[in-house]
Amino acid sequence: TDQIINVTADTDLIINVTAGTDLIINVTAGTDLIISVITGTDLIINVTAGTDLIINVTAGTDLIINVTAGTDLIINVTAGTDLIINVTAGTDQIINVTVGTDQIINVTAGTDLIISVTTGTDLIINVTAGTDLIINVTAGTDLIINVTAGTDQIINVTVGTDQNNNVTAGTDQIINITAGTYQIMSQLVLTSLS
């Protein structure tokens, strides 16, 4: 089965979740979960305090968030909230952002942002030229990316792109990687010949 959320130009797609609520996207084996957003559209996932936002994807599934030029993909999580993306073995989680797009993950104080990836899974964030990938985490927040054995965690950034990880005082930014795992940060640079 394909689960597709498609949003056209000049449209706001807003998922708003208030306190004490679980927003769960559960995708089983052999399913594609595709969120496709085209130019001039804001995709906003806003989660307030005391809420769990859980995206759970089982084996053999592709979770794809594709955002084209001129679009903002914003995940905003307020204090006391867990944002959990859990991906099991044999699954690709792909966030693809094209030219001229801002992908912003903003996490305020007292919040855990957890991306957990199990064995045999690729977590791929691919950002093309002219795009800012910004992860902003304020004081008192844990940003945790946990990757188990046999997993590739790949952040690939092409020429002309700013990738900023901004973490303020009193924050723990933890990347935990177990044996047999590759963590690859690849950034292509623009060279000039004189």
Q: Using an 8 Å Cβ cutoff, are 176 and 146 in contact?
A: yes
> In a structure prediction context, what are the per-residue pLDDT tens digits for the chain, which is 194 residues long?
788 888 887 889 899 988 888 989 998 878 898 898 887 888 889 988 788 989 998 878 898 888 887 888 889 988 788 988 888 878 888 888 887 888 888 888 788 888 888 878 888 888 887 888 888 888 788 888 888 878 788 888 877 778 888 888 788 887 777 766 766 666 554 444 44
Residue 194: inside a domain, yes or no?
Answer: no
**Which residues make Cβ contacts (< 8 Å) with residue 26, sequence separation at least 6?**
56
As for how many domains the chain has, the answer is 1
Residue 193: inside a domain, yes or no?
Answer: no
Residue 129: inside a domain, yes or no?
Answer: yes
CA-CA distance, 7 to 103, in Å (whole number)? 16
Residue 146: inside a domain, yes or no?
Answer: yes
The range of the structural domain enclosing residue 161 comes to 2-187
Q: In terms of C-beta density within 10 A (0-12 exposed, 13-18 middle, 19 or more buried), how is residue 191 classed?
A: exposed
User: What is the value of pTM for the model shown?
Assistant: 0.79
Q: Using an 8 Å Cβ cutoff, are 95 and 126 in contact?
A: yes
Residue 179: inside a domain, yes or no?
Answer: yes
Neighbours of 164 (CB within 10 A): 10
Residue 13: inside a domain, yes or no?
Answer: yes
Residue 26: inside a domain, yes or no?
Answer: yes
Residue 192: inside a domain, yes or no?
Answer: no
